[in-house]
Amino acid sequence: MGEETKDKVTHHIIADRTMIRTAKVVSGILTPFSIPFLAFLVLFLFSYLRIMPLAYKLIVLGIVYCFTILMPTITIFLFSKINGFALQDLSDRKKRYVPFILTITSYIFCLLMMHRLNIPWYMTGIILAALIMQLISVVVNLKWKLSEHMAGMGGIVGGLLSFSSLFGYNPVWWLCIFILIAGVLGSARIILKHHTLGEVLFGFAVGFVCTMLVLHPVISNSLFRIFLF
């Protein structure tokens, strides 16, 4: 009986470690930094935008990669090294403001660059929606810590609905896939104890609403008329 109990305990420990490793891998792949780049990649591969010249797509992807992944990663790494923080220390709510500011600055430069190149609004809108998410996260972070990972996933789901209305395609299968991914990612964040269920759900809602307000043609046009008049 003692051996059976010991085997069960060992089995549970192995299962828990495997689950934690899996959660770390999922969180590492689907980082908030990667979401805008993945959104552009999906657009260029699976929408009618795939007919655009390869050179144009590479330029846009290069700009997005540099300002939404490379620059924030480098500047946050240098900030942590200068101040003697480990990267995991930046999950502390009080230490997250400078990384937020560095990321927001990079996104602003990305928007300016895309504007100078006259890139269509439905592309720059992806960066604008992500920027608004970052600003909301800074404000919310004063009292609470919402999940930026889930905000990114909410942005993808909102983007799918917005672009389906704009380009006229059926988004059901894409929605099923990304809602499933969002569930896996949210579970990973809770397993790693980085966020509570409320922080995960609120993060998803923020990303979804921001993207719908900026990118959905009906909603964005309605808001424009309201503020214009």
| Residue 1 confidence class, pLDDT cut points 50, 70, 90 | very low
> Would residue 84 be called left, alpha or beta, if left means φ above 0 and alpha means ψ between -120 and 50 degrees?
left
> Do 209 and 157 form a contact (C-beta atoms < 8 A)?
no
Distance CA 34, CA 21 (A): 20
User: What tens digit of pLDDT does each residue of 176-187 get?
Assistant: 999 999 999 999
What's the half-sphere exposure (Cβ side, CA atoms, 13 Å) at 80? Answer: 18
pLDDT digits (tens, 9 = 90+) for 79-138: 777 776 655 555 555 566 777 888 899 999 999 999 898 888 888 999 999 999 989 988
Backbone angles phi, psi at 135, to 5 degrees: -65, -40
Q: Average of pLDDT values for 14-42?
A: 80
Contact partners, residue 228, CB within 8 Å, separation at least 6: none
- 85 Cβ partners below 8 Å, 6+ apart? 79, 95
Q: How far apart are CA 149 and CA 184, in angstroms?
A: 11
Mean per-residue pLDDT for 14-18?
66
**Extended beta strands in 35-78, E state:** none
Q: Are 33 and 69 in contact (CB under 8 A)?
A: yes
Lowest mean pLDDT among 6-10, 157-161, 203-207, 212-216: 6-10
Residue 66 has what pLDDT? 93
- Cα distance between residue 58 and residue 34, in whole Å: 16
| Opening angle at CA 188, ends 187 and 194, nearest 5 | 105
- For the ranges 36-40, 62-66, 91-95, the lowest mean pLDDT is seen at 91-95
Number of H helices, E strands in the chain: 10, 0
Question: Of the candidates 70, 74, 140, which has an alpha carbon nearest to the alpha carbon of residue 148?
Answer: 140
DSSP 169: -
pTM, two decimals, is 0.83
Return the exposure string of 192-212: e unless at least 16 CB atoms fall within 10 Å of the residue's CB, then b.
eebbeeebbbbbbebbbbbbb
Q: What is the pLDDT of residue 106?
A: 93
For the chain, give the percent of residues with pLDDT over 90: 27
On whether the CB atoms of residues 43 and 49 are closer than 8 A, the answer is yes
pLDDT classification of 139: cutoffs 50, 70, 90:
confident
The DSSP secondary-structure symbol of 142 reads T
